[in-house]
Amino acid sequence: MTTSFLTYLEAKRTVDDSALDRRVLEQFTNALSNRDGPVRLVELGVGVGAMLSRLIEWDVLPPRVSYRGVDIDSSCIVRARERVPKRLESAGYTVGAPRSVGNETVEDGVPKATSFVATWAPSSDDETATEIEITLEVADAFALEDDADAVIAAALLDIVDLESTLAAIESLLAPGGLCYAPITYDGSTAFTPRDSLDASIEAQYHHHMDEVRPAGGSRAGSALLESVADRPWSLLAAGSGDWVVSPVDGGYPHRERAVVSHVLETMADALAAVPSSDLPEESRLPAEKRRRWFERRHAELEAERLGYVAHNVDVVTRVP
């Protein structure tokens, strides 16, 4: 059964929650707290708003924030506009009515940008009132202009051209701004139980990332660290943001089964687009063997026996 992209984005919230390197996140949020006045955040590839909701629910943002989340996919923005206010209300925030920003629309009359304000009132003198102005916008990250204190690029830098994206991020930042890039894929996809064809399947999957897909790469996390070192940027922290999905007590927690299902579908599509003649001899597989591998993995998923691990890198940097 095909897993829709929006379902996948929603289902992976708990996987990302567990994966994020808390030391890297703490370095990012501590650096934000040292900036003067209302903090301006821009998130590229905001998806369904999971990172925005997470940062607010985890209470790690400064008390006054202006948050601009953009995504090229209008269906993601529509879903984020539905989900984020509900999550914030569940977290105790008062959420104002949304308003359109400008008169521009995209397909089906969807407003290009809408904005709303979320506030939280303290219950004691020991707590600080919070006000977050949130704008959710259908936009191309490479066409943006801004003067942000920080840019967030979660699970993004492995599917875009790294160098041009870092240049775009730099142009969006105010002097001394921060770039927080968690969940950047870096070279390892593994399943349990192990299978004799795993290495060949992974090699073909990475070949697609590196040679067939228009942008991105299978070692984007390592490439990001190298690129930061080559730039006049300061690396504040780096760590592992590995995805781990495994059956617990005979079943998958939350909606995490949908994450593995989507990964298998993505891999199958990728491998189908890789001509066998383009691969090294040791990585080639007859189509029938490849088909049976995916059948076995889907059967293990249905039986709630399949485990999945992907290695990612979390990075936070300061841009002078």
pLDDT at 125 over 80: no
- The rounded distance, in Å, linking the Cα atoms of 83 and 86 is 5
pLDDT at 105 over 70: yes
The DSSP H or E segment spanning 224 is: helix 220-230
232: tokens are 């006049």
How large is the angle between the packed helices 198-207 and 287-302, nearest 10 degrees?
A: 110
What local confidence, expressed as pLDDT, does residue 279 receive?
A: 73
Summarize pLDDT for 144-203 with one digit per residue, the tens: 999 999 999 999 999 999 999 999 999 999 999 999 999 999 999 999 999 999 999 999
> At residue 158, what is the residue type?
D
- The rounded distance, in Å, linking the Cα atoms of 67 and 41 is 5
What local confidence, expressed as pLDDT, does residue 286 receive?
A: 86
Are 81 and 118 a contacting pair, CB within 8 Å? Answer: no
Which one-letter DSSP state was computed for residue 32? H
Are 44 and 136 a contacting pair, CB within 8 Å? Answer: no
> At residue 179, what is the residue type?
C
What local confidence, expressed as pLDDT, does residue 124 receive?
A: 81
72: tokens are 């090229």
> At residue 249, what is the residue type?
D
Which one-letter DSSP state was computed for residue 101? S
Q: What is the CA radius of gyration of the chain?
A: 21
> Architecture of domain 5-319 in CATH?
3-Layer(aba) Sandwich (3.40)
pLDDT at 35 over 90: no
pTM over 0.75? The answer is: yes
Tell me what the pLDDT averaged over the chain comes to: 95
What local confidence, expressed as pLDDT, does residue 128 receive?
A: 85
Token look-up 């379902």 returns 7
